[in-house]
Each structure stands twice: as C-alpha cells, then as structure tokens.
Amino acid sequence: MIKEVNAKTLLSNCKNPSMWFGVKYNMNIYRGCQHGCIYCDSRSECYRIENFDDILVKVNAIDLLKAELPRKRVKGTVGTGAMSDPYGPVEKEYRLTGRALEVIAERRFPVHITTKSNLVLRDVETLQEINRIYASVSFTVTAADDELAGKIEPGAPSPTDRFKAMGVLSTLGICTGITLMPVLPFLEDNEENIRDIVIKAKEYGASYIYPSFGMTLRDRQRDYYYRKLDTLFPGIKEKYIKKFGLRYGCGVNHGSKLKQLFYELCKKYGISTSMPSYEKKISAYQLSILDGEG
Ligand code: SF4
C-alpha cells in the first residue's frame, strides 16, 4: 500500500557526522521500503513502523527542503538512504528523490546516497552538477550472486545491475563504492562471496568498500527474519538460535579469516576500506595545495 502524507519537517541533524560518510543532515523522503530485504533493521520495534512494506510518501518533501536548506548555516553533507531506500520502485512514479537532488544542486550542498538501485542513474546529470561540490553514492551489496540476492533482497535490483550502475558513476568521476553490510552468518560469510564482491568492485571502479562482518537482530526484525529463513533456507534458523540465542550482534563464522582475506584483497586491488566524505575531500585538496606551495 502506498499512502501520501504531508510531513512537518524533512531534514534531521546528525549528531555524529563522521560516523556515516560525513552526513550532517539526514533526509528520508519515503518511510517503509519496497526492496523487502529479509534482514532489514528498520523493522525493529524502536522505529515504530507497524508495516514496513507499506510506503509513506512525503509528498510535500520538495517544499520542505526548499524551506529548510537555506536555513542551514553549515554546508554539511545531505544524506539519504538510512531508513529506507531513496530509489525504491515508488521513486519511479514520484521522482521526489530526483527533485530533491535538484534543490540540493541549486543550493550547492554536498550529498551522499546509499541505495541498492540502479534507478539512481536517472539522476546522473544532477549528480554531476552536485559533484562540482561533492557527490558520493554507496551501493549496498551483501551477496555477489544474483540468485542468492534475489531471495535475500527480493524487491531490489540485482547485484549485477548495482555493479553496472557503479561503473557508470565511477566513469563519470563520481565517488562510488560499496557498503558491504550486513554479511549474513551461514548464508554470505564464505570466502567465495567476499572474494567475488571485491573483484567485481575493482572491475566496476569502486573506490572503497566499507564492511561490517555480521548482522544485528532484535525483536520483531528477528521474528520476520526467522520466518523468512524457514521458508527460504530451511534449517538455518536453528543454527542462529544455537549460536546467537537472543544476542543483538551476530558475527560471521570464521571472522578473522574472512576479514584477513577481505583486507588483503582490497589492498591488492587498491580499494580503500574507509568511508569517504566531503570533509576528507576538502582536507586532501588543502594538503595538495600546501604541498604544491612547499
Ligand atoms: S533497501 Fe535498505 S531500507 Fe530497504 S528493505 Fe533493504 S535494508 Fe531495508
């Protein structure tokens, strides 16, 4: 179900901008997400979203952004994609993310997008415009294999399509890479998957991969995930219960070996494993000027 609402505000301030790609102002135009990832943390009770598969569309988002952005004194990065994907299928019709980017371009703010969709390419011209200041796009990839991803992230474009979109952005000089999170224990925590992701990242011009080797599970998000495991991967839920009980943080199997492989491969292919940000770009630029003067 898609429901249109008028929101009171759009941008929220981030307390710790350095924690997530330097994002200072968070923007969620949609609530709920059609990508249907079986592990999605946004189903947790603390977010108070009764049915996460229902989509709320903030139809006044562009007016709100036009009013709120000029009032921000600090030119911090506007981020989107934290609680729901800004390029879910609903964006095809509403194009609110695309129009929000146009406002951001006009106001000359930096931007960071996290998505699982190649629909982002529809806004590539606006992103190029924003990139005169700074634009970065992270594609979340948890499985390299399209078939596996089709079960785990059933409503999202395939990893192949995400990698191809990344290739286009990197060719155009837009900072792009991968958020490799979560890595699901017993499903994605194998060497083949990690190796394939890093190799494809290299092939398609990723400048970074930011990993999290494991997942989090709590309350109704866990219930949902376990129901899906029973249907899609019989027998795996029992392994989770045995290994993690009611634990929130669920680490991957053979973690140190997997991490070692991951960091070695990234080093070999010259892929950064830390998050880029507008601030880092500015500091690097300033340093290069100083070096030039020296
Ligand atoms: S794309 Fe992100 S927000 Fe949407 S269901 Fe998947 S994990 Fe949740």
Taking CA atoms, 12 is separated from 175, 176, 262, 281, 283, in Å, by 24, 24, 34, 23, 25
Strand partners, 94: none
For the segment 19-24, the average pLDDT, to the nearest whole number, is 92
pLDDT in tens, 68-119: 999 998 899 999 998 899 999 999 999 999 999 999 999 999 999 999 999 9
The CATH code of the domain that includes 243 is 3.20.20.70
For ligand 1, whether the C-beta of 116 sits within 6 Å is yes
pLDDT in tens, 129-149: 999 999 999 999 999 999 999
Distance between Cα 65 and ligand 1 center (Å): 23
CB 121 within 8 A of CB 149: no
Strand partners, 30: 57
For ligand 1, whether the C-beta of 166 sits within 6 Å is no
| Mean pLDDT over the full length of the chain | 95
pLDDT for residue 116: 98
Is 32's pLDDT higher than 50? yes
For ligand 1, whether the C-beta of 33 sits within 6 Å is yes
Q: Which atom of ligand 1 is nearest to the CA of 115?
A: 1
For ligand 1, whether the C-beta of 40 sits within 6 Å is yes
pLDDT in tens, 241-263: 999 999 999 999 999 999 999 99
For ligand 1, whether the C-beta of 216 sits within 6 Å is no
Parent domain of 33: 2-293
Distance between Cα 134 and ligand 1 center (Å): 25
For ligand 1, whether the C-beta of 91 sits within 6 Å is no
For ligand 1, whether the C-beta of 85 sits within 6 Å is yes
For ligand 1, whether the C-beta of 42 sits within 6 Å is yes
List Cβ neighbours of 211 (8 Å cut-off, separation of 6 or more): 180, 181, 183, 259, 262, 273
Q: Which residue, judged by its Cα, is nearest atom 8 of ligand 1?
A: 40
Q: Which residue, judged by its Cα, is nearest atom 7 of ligand 1?
A: 40
Domain tally, the chain: 1
Distance between Cα 231 and ligand 1 center (Å): 19
Distance between Cα 290 and ligand 1 center (Å): 42
* Number of other CB atoms surrounding residue 11 within 10 Å: 20
pLDDT for residue 293: 56
What's the rounded Cα separation, in Å, for the pair 82 and 84?
Answer: 6
**Backbone torsion region of residue 178, taken as left when φ is above 0, otherwise alpha when ψ lies between -120 and 50, otherwise beta:** beta
Q: Which residue, judged by its Cα, is nearest atom 3 of ligand 1?
A: 84
Q: Please give the distance of CA 251 from its chain centroid, rounded to a whole number.
A: 20
Pocket test for ligand 1, best of 40, 87, 139 (most atoms within 8 A of CB): 40
For ligand 1, whether the C-beta of 35 sits within 6 Å is yes
